[in-house]
Amino acid sequence: MSVQLYHTQRERRLVKNPVVDCSSNRARLLALASALPRLPREDIFAFLEAAKLQADKLPEDIAAALDEFNANGNQNGYLLLTGLPVEPDDELPATPTSTPPPVDRELLNMEAMLAIIGRRIGLHTAYDQGYGNRRAREVLHELYHTPDAHPLSGETSGTQLEFHADLYHHARQPQYIILSCSRADHEHKAATLVGSIRNALPLLAKEVKDRLFDRKFARPVGVSFGDKIENPQVIAHVKPLYGDRSDPYLGFDRSVLRAEEPADKEALAELDNALETVAEPVRLSAGDLLIIDNLRTAHARTPFEARWDGKDRWLHRAYVRTDRNGQLTGGERAGSVVEFIARQ
């Protein structure tokens, strides 16, 4: 993929290597993780408060990279931290096949990294997502395939997950999605595809950008993966491009976003094609942590093969809010649940 050339000082600052190698700091990071409560789900508020204390002690180079990404983002729309402390594979529990995790399961290293790094950049948040998602209202999520998974959900492995931004239909949409990896898939085929609007925007014709900017499209809230689940009469209204015209935010879901007029359908298709063209594959290995800018990207996931042997792919996920773009209203704390508010 070619890198666009930019001319202002701010734009040049955005074109950076999105990978931070943390391996030289692994021992220090493990010490931070060891200071956290061992049962994170027993008191999520206390756990995340302890994580904030440790976040303030992160090694200087890691803290600087996180602070810069949090302040300005980057051209790629993600930051990948590698070489974080993770248990040897034979010391990890078997990859789960059902959710949610038990309250008495002890803290894993990559859960600790998810908490500490997330608290450096914002507030971990649980969401009522508006359509009966069984992971809604949990702060610490896990991604692994389950026997009864819908073929278009994150719990399946054999289906390509289409480009989307998480919770883009929610008025308090989180700034970041954080994924940390305890165990990769066997063949290392699974890739998180990240399509940055900062890379895709130059590929869009002016008339397409004009058509999509600040234009509202219907997103049925009672629809998830094409199924009627709850309250199908509630409609969110989503703008595919909004904010600063030269550096817009993105609200997109290939599978669910509705358009009625042919010109609108064509414009959304052009946006979809541009995001797919610039998308970067990120294959997570054990000890990797990926921060996705959920306001400036759409992401997808390629298929992979599950073996059901207790050693399948195992990720941890959290949503993190910041004080930007209406995500906070005042008085929030890490670990809170946000009730559903349809974006209008």
CATH of the domain at 306: 3.60.130.10
Cα angle, residue 50 at apex, residues 47 and 54 outer, rounded to 5°? 135
Domain-embedded: residue 186: yes
Query: Greater confidence, 85 or 227?
Result: 85
The pLDDT, as a whole number, for residue 339 is 87
d(CA 326, CA 321): 10
Q: Which domain holds residue 25?
A: 9-198+282-338
Share of the chain above pLDDT 70, in %: 86
The pLDDT, as a whole number, for residue 231 is 55
Domain-embedded: residue 316: yes
Residues 6+ apart with CB under 8 A from 14: 6, 72, 73, 74, 75, 198
The pLDDT, as a whole number, for residue 232 is 55
Domain-embedded: residue 232: no
Domain-embedded: residue 150: yes
Domain-embedded: residue 235: no
* pTM for this predicted structure: 0.91
Please check the confidence at residue 255 and state whether its pLDDT lies above 90.
no
What is the count of structural domains for the chain? 1
Q: How high is the mean pLDDT of the chain?
A: 88
d(CA 135, CA 281): 25
